[in-house]
Homo-oligomer: A and B are copies of this chain.
Amino acid sequence: MSLSPAVVIGAGLVGASVGCALTKAGHRVHLEDRNASHVQVAAGIGAGTSEPAVPDEVRLVVVAVPPAALAAVIIDALDRFPRATVTDVGSVKAGVLNALWDSGGDVTRYVGSHPMAGSQFSGPLTAQADLFHDRTWVIAPHRKSSAAATQDVRDLVAACGANEVIMDVDIHDSAVARVSHVPHLMSVLMAGHLNEVPVEQLQLAGQGLRDVTRIAGSDPDLWEQILGANSAAVLPELRAVQHQLDTLISAIESDGTAGAQAHAVLAHLERGLAGTRRIPGKHGAAPVQYRQLVVEIPDAPGALSRLFADVAQAGVNVEDISIQHDPDRQVGYLSLAVAPDQADALVGSMTDAGWAIGDSDPSSDSAG
Protein backbone atom coordinates (compact mmCIF):
# COMPACT_ATOMS: atom_id res chain seq x y z
CA MET A 1 0.00 0.00 0.00
CA SER A 2 1.62 3.24 -1.09
CA LEU A 3 1.75 6.39 1.02
CA SER A 4 2.96 8.44 -1.99
CA PRO A 5 2.74 11.23 -2.51
CA ALA A 6 2.82 12.42 1.09
CA VAL A 7 2.76 15.95 2.48
CA VAL A 8 4.53 16.94 5.70
CA ILE A 9 3.27 20.20 7.18
CA GLY A 10 5.79 21.67 9.61
CA ALA A 11 9.43 21.01 8.76
CA GLY A 12 10.91 21.12 12.28
CA LEU A 13 12.85 18.25 13.73
CA VAL A 14 9.94 15.81 13.90
CA GLY A 15 8.37 16.76 10.57
CA ALA A 16 11.68 16.75 8.71
CA SER A 17 12.63 13.42 10.27
CA VAL A 18 9.31 11.92 9.14
CA GLY A 19 10.08 13.29 5.68
CA CYS A 20 13.52 11.69 5.70
CA ALA A 21 12.14 8.34 6.82
CA LEU A 22 9.36 8.31 4.21
CA THR A 23 11.79 9.40 1.47
CA LYS A 24 14.24 6.70 2.49
CA ALA A 25 11.41 4.15 2.35
CA GLY A 26 10.81 5.15 -1.28
CA HIS A 27 7.90 7.54 -0.88
CA ARG A 28 7.58 10.97 -2.49
CA VAL A 29 7.31 13.75 0.14
CA HIS A 30 6.24 17.38 -0.28
CA LEU A 31 7.27 19.75 2.50
CA GLU A 32 5.33 22.75 3.80
CA ASP A 33 6.28 25.21 6.55
CA ARG A 34 5.38 28.82 7.35
CA ASN A 35 9.13 29.29 7.64
CA ALA A 36 10.54 28.90 4.11
CA SER A 37 14.08 28.35 5.38
CA HIS A 38 12.91 25.29 7.31
CA VAL A 39 11.61 23.79 4.08
CA GLN A 40 14.92 24.53 2.34
CA VAL A 41 17.02 23.00 5.10
CA ALA A 42 14.76 19.95 5.34
CA ALA A 43 14.77 19.44 1.58
CA GLY A 44 18.55 19.80 1.63
CA ILE A 45 18.98 16.90 4.00
CA GLY A 46 16.67 14.60 2.06
CA ALA A 47 13.33 15.12 3.79
CA GLY A 48 11.46 15.75 0.55
CA THR A 49 10.79 18.44 -2.02
CA SER A 50 9.78 22.06 -1.60
CA GLU A 51 7.56 21.83 -4.69
CA PRO A 52 3.82 21.87 -3.98
CA ALA A 53 1.86 18.63 -4.24
CA VAL A 54 -1.11 18.04 -6.55
CA PRO A 55 -3.89 18.07 -3.93
CA ASP A 56 -6.08 15.31 -5.38
CA GLU A 57 -3.13 12.91 -5.59
CA VAL A 58 -1.97 13.20 -1.99
CA ARG A 59 -2.40 9.96 -0.02
CA LEU A 60 -1.02 10.96 3.39
CA VAL A 61 -0.60 14.23 5.29
CA VAL A 62 1.52 14.42 8.46
CA VAL A 63 0.90 17.56 10.50
CA ALA A 64 3.86 18.50 12.72
CA VAL A 65 3.11 22.03 13.94
CA PRO A 66 2.93 23.54 17.47
CA PRO A 67 0.03 22.42 19.69
CA ALA A 68 -2.08 25.57 19.41
CA ALA A 69 -2.01 25.44 15.59
CA LEU A 70 -2.75 21.72 15.24
CA ALA A 71 -6.55 21.68 14.93
CA ALA A 72 -6.78 24.47 12.35
CA VAL A 73 -3.99 22.97 10.22
CA ILE A 74 -5.55 19.49 10.34
CA ILE A 75 -8.99 20.83 9.40
CA ASP A 76 -7.43 22.76 6.55
CA ALA A 77 -5.48 19.68 5.39
CA LEU A 78 -8.63 17.50 5.34
CA ASP A 79 -10.17 20.16 3.13
CA ARG A 80 -7.19 20.81 0.85
CA PHE A 81 -6.29 17.13 0.30
CA PRO A 82 -9.67 15.44 -0.21
CA ARG A 83 -8.34 11.90 -0.75
CA ALA A 84 -5.60 11.90 1.90
CA THR A 85 -5.37 10.28 5.29
CA VAL A 86 -4.37 13.00 7.76
CA THR A 87 -2.44 12.39 10.97
CA ASP A 88 -0.51 14.59 13.37
CA VAL A 89 2.34 14.13 15.82
CA GLY A 90 1.03 16.32 18.63
CA SER A 91 1.50 15.39 22.29
CA VAL A 92 -2.20 15.81 23.17
CA LYS A 93 -5.05 14.21 21.23
CA ALA A 94 -8.55 14.85 22.63
CA GLY A 95 -8.76 18.61 22.19
CA VAL A 96 -7.81 18.44 18.52
CA LEU A 97 -10.41 15.74 18.01
CA ASN A 98 -13.15 17.84 19.62
CA ALA A 99 -12.30 20.72 17.30
CA LEU A 100 -12.54 18.34 14.33
CA TRP A 101 -16.01 17.12 15.34
CA ASP A 102 -17.19 20.71 15.28
CA SER A 103 -15.53 21.50 11.96
CA GLY A 104 -17.84 19.52 9.71
CA GLY A 105 -14.79 18.09 7.90
CA ASP A 106 -14.36 14.44 6.88
CA VAL A 107 -13.04 13.15 10.19
CA THR A 108 -13.08 9.54 8.98
CA ARG A 109 -9.79 10.31 7.25
CA TYR A 110 -8.13 11.61 10.46
CA VAL A 111 -6.19 9.36 12.86
CA GLY A 112 -4.07 11.09 15.51
CA SER A 113 -0.68 9.82 16.55
CA HIS A 114 2.23 10.69 18.86
CA PRO A 115 5.81 9.53 18.33
CA MET A 116 7.69 9.44 21.66
CA ALA A 117 10.77 11.10 20.23
CA GLY A 118 12.02 14.31 18.97
CA SER A 119 11.87 17.34 21.18
CA GLN A 120 15.36 16.91 22.52
CA PHE A 121 16.67 18.58 19.37
CA SER A 122 14.88 21.38 17.61
CA GLY A 123 14.74 22.60 14.03
CA PRO A 124 15.21 20.60 10.84
CA LEU A 125 19.02 20.65 10.84
CA THR A 126 19.35 17.64 13.11
CA ALA A 127 16.52 15.68 11.50
CA GLN A 128 17.32 12.09 10.65
CA ALA A 129 15.51 9.19 9.02
CA ASP A 130 16.09 6.90 11.99
CA LEU A 131 14.87 9.32 14.68
CA PHE A 132 11.90 7.04 15.32
CA HIS A 133 13.69 3.73 14.84
CA ASP A 134 12.53 1.31 17.57
CA ARG A 135 10.79 4.16 19.41
CA THR A 136 7.25 3.96 20.71
CA TRP A 137 4.76 5.68 18.41
CA VAL A 138 1.25 5.91 19.79
CA ILE A 139 -1.61 5.63 17.27
CA ALA A 140 -4.93 6.90 18.63
CA PRO A 141 -7.84 6.20 16.27
CA HIS A 142 -11.22 7.71 17.17
CA ARG A 143 -14.60 6.03 16.81
CA LYS A 144 -15.18 7.34 13.27
CA SER A 145 -11.66 6.76 11.93
CA SER A 146 -11.88 4.55 8.85
CA ALA A 147 -10.02 1.26 8.87
CA ALA A 148 -8.14 2.39 5.77
CA ALA A 149 -6.96 5.59 7.44
CA THR A 150 -5.78 3.71 10.52
CA GLN A 151 -3.91 1.31 8.26
CA ASP A 152 -2.21 4.23 6.50
CA VAL A 153 -0.93 5.55 9.83
CA ARG A 154 0.24 2.08 10.81
CA ASP A 155 2.13 1.98 7.49
CA LEU A 156 3.65 5.38 8.31
CA VAL A 157 4.82 4.14 11.69
CA ALA A 158 6.26 1.00 10.07
CA ALA A 159 8.01 3.09 7.39
CA CYS A 160 9.63 5.12 10.17
CA GLY A 161 10.81 1.92 11.88
CA ALA A 162 8.88 2.75 15.06
CA ASN A 163 6.95 0.42 17.36
CA GLU A 164 3.23 1.09 17.13
CA VAL A 165 1.14 1.25 20.28
CA ILE A 166 -2.59 1.55 19.62
CA MET A 167 -4.07 3.56 22.46
CA ASP A 168 -7.41 5.14 23.13
CA VAL A 169 -7.31 8.94 22.79
CA ASP A 170 -8.33 9.52 26.40
CA ILE A 171 -5.92 6.94 27.79
CA HIS A 172 -3.08 8.51 25.80
CA ASP A 173 -3.87 11.98 27.08
CA SER A 174 -4.16 10.69 30.62
CA ALA A 175 -0.82 8.89 30.32
CA VAL A 176 1.09 11.97 29.13
CA ALA A 177 -0.65 14.04 31.81
CA ARG A 178 0.70 11.62 34.41
CA VAL A 179 4.24 11.03 33.14
CA SER A 180 4.97 14.42 31.59
CA HIS A 181 2.53 17.27 32.22
CA VAL A 182 1.99 16.91 35.98
CA PRO A 183 5.73 16.34 36.59
CA HIS A 184 6.32 19.50 34.60
CA LEU A 185 3.92 21.45 36.82
CA MET A 186 5.48 20.11 40.01
CA SER A 187 8.83 21.29 38.73
CA VAL A 188 7.30 24.68 37.88
CA LEU A 189 5.76 25.06 41.34
CA MET A 190 9.05 24.25 43.06
CA ALA A 191 11.04 26.56 40.80
CA GLY A 192 8.46 29.30 41.20
CA HIS A 193 8.80 29.14 44.97
CA LEU A 194 12.51 29.94 44.61
CA ASN A 195 11.50 33.50 43.78
CA GLU A 196 10.67 33.84 47.48
CA VAL A 197 14.09 32.61 48.63
CA PRO A 198 16.82 35.16 49.39
CA VAL A 199 19.81 34.78 47.09
CA GLU A 200 22.23 34.08 49.94
CA GLN A 201 20.13 31.10 50.99
CA LEU A 202 20.20 29.71 47.45
CA GLN A 203 23.95 29.27 47.87
CA LEU A 204 23.04 26.19 49.91
CA ALA A 205 21.35 24.56 46.89
CA GLY A 206 22.52 21.11 45.83
CA GLN A 207 22.01 18.81 42.89
CA GLY A 208 18.61 17.67 44.11
CA LEU A 209 17.09 21.13 43.70
CA ARG A 210 18.63 21.43 40.24
CA ASP A 211 17.18 18.09 39.15
CA VAL A 212 13.69 18.79 40.46
CA THR A 213 13.52 22.20 38.78
CA ARG A 214 15.31 21.43 35.47
CA ILE A 215 12.25 21.01 33.26
CA ALA A 216 10.72 24.21 34.67
CA GLY A 217 13.34 25.92 32.48
CA SER A 218 11.38 24.93 29.36
CA ASP A 219 9.64 27.39 27.05
CA PRO A 220 6.54 28.73 28.90
CA ASP A 221 4.69 29.53 25.67
CA LEU A 222 4.99 25.98 24.35
CA TRP A 223 3.90 24.56 27.69
CA GLU A 224 0.96 26.89 27.95
CA GLN A 225 -0.23 25.38 24.67
CA ILE A 226 0.36 21.80 25.83
CA LEU A 227 -1.40 22.35 29.16
CA GLY A 228 -4.25 24.22 27.53
CA ALA A 229 -4.76 21.30 25.18
CA ASN A 230 -4.68 18.68 27.94
CA SER A 231 -6.33 20.43 30.89
CA ALA A 232 -9.11 17.82 31.09
CA ALA A 233 -6.58 15.04 31.67
CA VAL A 234 -4.20 17.09 33.79
CA LEU A 235 -6.76 18.37 36.29
CA PRO A 236 -7.78 15.09 37.98
CA GLU A 237 -4.13 14.07 38.32
CA LEU A 238 -3.19 17.45 39.74
CA ARG A 239 -6.09 17.31 42.18
CA ALA A 240 -4.91 13.88 43.34
CA VAL A 241 -1.45 15.30 43.99
CA GLN A 242 -3.06 18.28 45.74
CA HIS A 243 -4.89 15.86 48.02
CA GLN A 244 -1.63 14.06 48.79
CA LEU A 245 0.04 17.38 49.56
CA ASP A 246 -2.79 18.25 51.93
CA THR A 247 -2.42 14.94 53.76
CA LEU A 248 1.36 15.33 53.84
CA ILE A 249 1.04 18.77 55.42
CA SER A 250 -1.38 17.37 58.01
CA ALA A 251 1.02 14.55 58.75
CA ILE A 252 3.94 16.93 59.26
CA GLU A 253 1.76 19.23 61.40
CA SER A 254 0.88 16.31 63.64
CA ASP A 255 4.42 14.93 63.74
CA GLY A 256 5.72 14.51 67.25
CA THR A 257 2.29 14.69 68.85
CA ALA A 258 1.56 11.03 68.29
CA GLY A 259 3.57 8.03 67.19
CA ALA A 260 1.03 7.04 64.59
CA GLN A 261 1.35 10.42 62.85
CA ALA A 262 5.09 10.08 62.42
CA HIS A 263 4.36 6.95 60.47
CA ALA A 264 2.13 9.01 58.17
CA VAL A 265 5.15 11.05 57.02
CA LEU A 266 7.19 7.89 56.61
CA ALA A 267 4.36 6.37 54.59
CA HIS A 268 4.56 9.28 52.14
CA LEU A 269 8.32 8.85 51.81
CA GLU A 270 7.99 5.11 51.26
CA ARG A 271 5.22 5.64 48.74
CA GLY A 272 7.54 7.97 46.83
CA LEU A 273 10.36 5.45 46.89
CA ALA A 274 7.99 2.77 45.59
CA GLY A 275 6.90 5.13 42.82
CA THR A 276 10.45 5.70 41.58
CA ARG A 277 10.86 1.93 41.26
CA ARG A 278 7.88 1.68 38.91
CA ILE A 279 9.58 3.79 36.23
CA PRO A 280 10.85 1.47 33.50
CA GLY A 281 14.61 1.20 33.06
CA LYS A 282 16.72 1.87 30.02
CA HIS A 283 15.53 0.58 26.66
CA GLY A 284 12.05 -0.14 28.01
CA ALA A 285 13.39 -2.95 30.19
CA ALA A 286 12.21 -3.69 33.69
CA PRO A 287 13.81 -1.43 36.31
CA VAL A 288 17.36 -2.58 37.10
CA GLN A 289 19.30 -1.67 40.20
CA TYR A 290 22.69 -0.61 38.88
CA ARG A 291 25.61 -0.13 41.16
CA GLN A 292 26.56 3.54 41.40
CA LEU A 293 30.25 4.40 41.47
CA VAL A 294 31.59 7.90 41.99
CA VAL A 295 34.88 9.33 40.76
CA GLU A 296 36.25 12.75 41.62
CA ILE A 297 37.27 14.54 38.49
CA PRO A 298 39.19 17.80 38.00
CA ASP A 299 37.39 20.55 36.11
CA ALA A 300 39.91 20.81 33.27
CA PRO A 301 39.92 20.13 29.53
CA GLY A 302 40.88 16.54 28.83
CA ALA A 303 40.10 15.16 32.28
CA LEU A 304 36.85 13.55 31.19
CA SER A 305 38.61 12.11 28.18
CA ARG A 306 41.30 10.49 30.30
CA LEU A 307 38.66 9.19 32.69
CA PHE A 308 36.60 7.59 29.97
CA ALA A 309 39.65 6.18 28.27
CA ASP A 310 40.42 4.39 31.53
CA VAL A 311 36.81 3.25 31.86
CA ALA A 312 36.96 1.90 28.33
CA GLN A 313 40.23 0.16 29.14
CA ALA A 314 38.35 -1.76 31.82
CA GLY A 315 36.02 -3.14 29.13
CA VAL A 316 32.98 -2.25 31.20
CA ASN A 317 29.80 -0.80 29.74
CA VAL A 318 28.66 2.38 31.49
CA GLU A 319 24.87 2.22 31.78
CA ASP A 320 24.31 5.76 32.93
CA ILE A 321 26.31 8.75 33.92
CA SER A 322 25.89 12.06 35.65
CA ILE A 323 28.09 14.83 36.94
CA GLN A 324 27.40 16.69 40.11
CA HIS A 325 29.31 19.92 40.29
CA ASP A 326 30.71 21.07 43.52
CA PRO A 327 29.25 24.58 43.94
CA ASP A 328 32.49 25.94 45.39
CA ARG A 329 35.41 23.78 44.32
CA GLN A 330 37.05 23.32 40.93
CA VAL A 331 36.04 19.67 40.76
CA GLY A 332 33.07 17.58 39.86
CA TYR A 333 31.88 14.16 40.88
CA LEU A 334 31.13 11.73 38.12
CA SER A 335 28.63 9.01 38.88
CA LEU A 336 28.87 5.87 36.79
CA ALA A 337 26.12 3.27 36.84
CA VAL A 338 27.29 -0.21 35.93
CA ALA A 339 25.79 -3.67 36.13
CA PRO A 340 26.43 -5.11 39.59
CA ASP A 341 28.51 -7.99 38.20
CA GLN A 342 30.86 -5.56 36.45
CA ALA A 343 31.35 -3.06 39.27
CA ASP A 344 34.20 -4.72 41.14
CA ALA A 345 36.22 -5.11 37.96
CA LEU A 346 35.76 -1.43 37.19
CA VAL A 347 36.72 -0.34 40.71
CA GLY A 348 39.89 -2.44 40.55
CA SER A 349 40.88 -1.22 37.14
CA MET A 350 40.18 2.45 37.89
CA THR A 351 41.99 2.32 41.23
CA ASP A 352 45.01 0.85 39.46
CA ALA A 353 44.84 3.79 37.05
CA GLY A 354 45.05 6.24 39.94
CA TRP A 355 41.42 7.41 40.22
CA ALA A 356 39.62 7.85 43.54
CA ILE A 357 36.54 5.72 43.00
CA GLY A 358 33.94 4.51 45.47
CA ASP A 359 30.33 3.53 45.89
CA SER A 360 27.73 6.24 46.27
CA ASP A 361 24.18 6.60 47.36
CA PRO A 362 22.71 7.67 43.99
CA SER A 363 19.78 9.49 45.55
CA SER A 364 21.39 11.48 48.31
CA ASP A 365 21.71 15.20 48.21
CA SER A 366 24.63 17.17 49.56
CA ALA A 367 22.23 19.82 50.85
CA GLY A 368 20.21 17.17 52.74
Which residue of the partner chain, among B125, B197, B311, B363, contacts A215 with CB atoms under 8 Å? B363
Determine if A352 is an interface residue (Cβ-Cβ < 8 Å).
no
On whether the beta carbons of A231 and B256 are closer than 8 Å, the reply is yes
Q: Compute how far the CA of A366 lies from the CA of B13 in the bound complex, rounded to whole angstroms.
A: 12
On whether the beta carbons of A366 and B209 are closer than 8 Å, the reply is no
Instruction: Report the minimum CB–CB distance from A272 to chain B (whole Å).
Output: 3
Within 8 A of B (CB), among A124-176: 125-126, 128, 133-136, 138, 163, 165, 171, 174-176
On whether the beta carbons of A276 and B242 are closer than 8 Å, the reply is no
Q: Compute how far the CA of A175 lies from the CA of B333 in the bound complex, rounded to whole angstroms.
A: 24
Contact with B along A13-52 (1 / 0, CB 8 A): 0000000000000000000000000000000000000000
Residue of B with least CB distance to A208: B215
Q: Compute how far the CA of A272 lies from the CA of B322 in the bound complex, rounded to whole angstroms.
A: 24
Query: Given A189-B186, A276-B216 in contact, is the A333-B135 Cβ separation under 8 Å?
Result: no
Q: Compute how far the CA of A138 lies from the CA of B204 in the bound complex, rounded to whole angstroms.
A: 9
Query: Given the complex, which residues of B lie within 8 Å of A134, measured CB to CB?
Result: 328-330
Instruction: Report the minimum CB–CB distance from A209 to chain B (whole Å).
Output: 5
16 extra A-B contacts, CB within 8 A, seeds A178-B196, A211-B214, A282-B325: A119-B365, A120-B294, A121-B294, A122-B359, A122-B360, A135-B326, A182-B190, A188-B268, A190-B272, A202-B280, A203-B280, A205-B280, A213-B276, A218-B361, A242-B246, A321-B322
| 21 pairs, CB–CB < 8 Å, chain A vs chain B | A117-B326, A119-B365, A133-B329, A134-B330, A179-B206, A180-B205, A183-B209, A183-B213, A185-B248, A187-B212, A189-B248, A190-B241, A199-B278, A203-B280, A205-B279, A212-B215, A216-B273, A220-B269, A231-B255, A238-B248, A306-B312
